[in-house]
Amino acid sequence: MSQAPEQETVYNRVAGGNLLRLSAISDGIFAVGMTLLVLGLTVPAVQSVNSDTDLLRQLSYLLPAIVTYFMSFLTLGIFWVGQQTQLSDVQRANRAYTWIHLVFLLAVTMVPFTTQLLARFHWSRVAVLIYWLNIVVLGFALLAGGEYANRAGLFPPERGPMLLRLIRRRVYGAQLLYLVGVLLSVFGTNWSIGFIVAIQLNFAFAPPIPVLRRI
């Protein structure tokens, strides 16, 4: 008995379907990005330190860089958890879904740059705005992945609508809080940075605050 001829298809229908490879490159990029953040912390120059007092003074100059490093490490940690939560429920991938996440990873690679920009110009509203725009792209790229996965049937049918509701609630709620943080720069950029750090701590440790725990 002769076998039926293989059905002809196009490259784009078979490309980008390996979910494990998508998870692998995501983990690698997050690992590198989180490591690069520490490069914004520079050891004081030897010639500028002649005593313990000098060293403490030089270290105090690093405070903005330390705060933004801590804030951005939390940022990447939160988005890594968000992406892994989504990928763990996706049954399969395809080319479009993979490229959505590559756009998300592009925004991940920008975090070390926007972090150093904010650390050096922590007094600048423009630096705060650019850092916020990085977070906006991260959030809505992750949301786009969830929207597409639900529409394309990549989520299990019985879980897809519930997962999408949770993803929407998290992204819209978080982005609204980040927007409030940016608007606080009207009173001073330190207010913005402090508020964003508080947001990150909330998402990282999830304290039992009735309103925030639903986001």
* Residues 57-104: tens digit of each pLDDT: 989 989 999 999 999 999 999 999 999 999 999 999 999 999 999 999
Question: Are the C-beta atoms of residues 169 and 128 closer than 8 Å to each other?
Answer: no
Question: Are the C-beta atoms of residues 17 and 92 closer than 8 Å to each other?
Answer: yes
User: How far apart are the C-alpha atoms of 45 and 33, rounded to whole Å?
Assistant: 25
List of residues 6+ apart from 204 with CB closer than 8 A: 74, 77, 78
pLDDT of residue 134: 97
Lowest mean pLDDT across 29-33, 148-152, 203-207:
203-207
Lowest mean pLDDT across 4-13, 59-68, 151-160, 187-196:
4-13
Compute the average pLDDT of residues 15-33: 91
Whether 213 has a pLDDT exceeding 80, the answer reads no
Whether 153 has a pLDDT exceeding 80, the answer reads yes
Compute the average pLDDT of residues 22-47: 92
Compute the average pLDDT of residues 115-122: 94
Lowest mean pLDDT across 8-12, 44-48, 62-66, 179-183:
8-12
Question: Are the C-beta atoms of residues 128 and 189 closer than 8 Å to each other?
Answer: yes
The burial class, CB within 10 Å (0-12 / 13-18 / 19+), for 50 is exposed
Q: Which two tokens stand for residue 156?
A: 């299990």
pLDDT of residue 5: 52
List of residues 6+ apart from 31 with CB closer than 8 A: none
pLDDT of residue 209: 76
